[in-house]
Structure 1
Amino acid sequence: MPLDVLTPDAYRQLEHAASLKGLLKPFKGKGELEHLAQVARDIEAQLGRLMEAVMQQTGRPPYSLLEMRLVRQNTGAGSTFLRWRTRDFVRMGVAVWEQQMANPALPPAVRDGLHRFECERIALNLQMSVVHSLFRQASTCAIKMASAEQVLRQFTIAVEVSP
């Protein structure tokens, strides 16, 4: 049976860091947006540690004896997701997990554990996707706000200098 990696205690730090009250407010400058981006980056790192813990569990018997494993996949956008992969790395995705689940020789306790791992994988991938999107959006908005501040300074200086 899987251990309880994704317990409420595992998420306790994330709950405090991920409060939406810091997101739903007027931002006064690029610094606040940069701070939001950093908070999102920190949460991504914490989610990465939870992903690693789930991967370690799937790497232990009896799951390590199966013809698949759970791996981290880095995306071109800079995020990381958990994917099922065959041992020979020929196939990847949910179909690999489904094929293993369909194995009639699979003991019920192992099937239940795989189901739980799949649910944890789905939830972690969702959370990583949302947090990474928040990071990208906050970073982009910080750049845009810095640009707007620079334009304001240029025109303020131009107005002060002109006769």
Structure 2
Amino acid sequence: MKPIISTQPIPPKTLTPDAYRQLEHSASLKGLLKPFKGKGELDYLAQVARETEAQLCHLMEAVVQQAGQPPYSLLDIRLVLQNTSAGSTFLRWRTRDFARMGVAVWERQVSNKALPQAVREELHRFECERIALNLQMSVVHSLYRQASTCAIKMASAERLLRQFTPAAEISR
């Protein structure tokens, strides 16, 4: 059986250690595992998580762009960005006609016996990158939501305390 696409040069890998270098510094857990003294520190944590989400989105866009180049663009599969109602973004596999979505679409394509092995291996790499980036986005987005919610709760607790604290004690 003739391959469904010709084997063309495979582009370089997108998610190299250099691609993550900037994320490593902003996403340290060192700042998470400490006592928070007030709303400001939680707001800062939420801000860092939001910035990290944006950086992850750039990495996702790079993977989508690479997966959209030949020979992959000749397949009946697309890697796309999907924005969720919760405000985060995830990578999803879709058919070219957008009729189906999910890992089953990728599995069907990779299982095609006419697919050249080099392309199959690169689709595997894209799938592994998709899984890892989606995990990272999920964790960071959850951290953002939790930090934001906790900042609101802490501000509410501080307001309540101020309502019942004599003015002389506030100025101390």
Q: Percent identity?
A: 81
**Matches of 1:2 and 1:114 in 2, distance apart?**
12
Residue 33 of structure 1 corresponds to: 42
Question: What is the deviation of 1:51?
Answer: 0.1
TM-score scaled by length of structure 1: 0.95
Note the alpha carbon deviations across 1:90-145, whole angstroms, 9 max, x for none. Answer: 00000000000011110000000000000000000000000000000000000000
Residue 102 of structure 1 corresponds to: 111
Question: What is the deviation of 1:157?
Answer: 3.8
Supply the AA of the counterpart residue of 2:16: T
Residue 19 of structure 1 corresponds to: 28
**Matches of 2:39 and 2:118 in 1, distance apart?**
51
Secondary structure of the structure 2 residue equivalent to 1:84:
strand
Shift >2 Å, 4+ stretches: 157-160
1:156 and 2:165 aligned: yes
Corresponding residue pairs, total: 160
Question: What is the deviation of 1:75?
Answer: 1.1
Structure 1: state its 5+ residue gaps: none
**Matches of 1:48 and 1:60 in 2, distance apart?**
19
Which structure has greater helix proportion? 1
Could you tell me which of 15, 18, 22 is aligned with 1:9? Answer: 18
Residue 52 of structure 1 corresponds to: 61
**Matches of 2:85 and 2:157 in 1, distance apart?**
29
Residue 85 of structure 1 corresponds to: 94
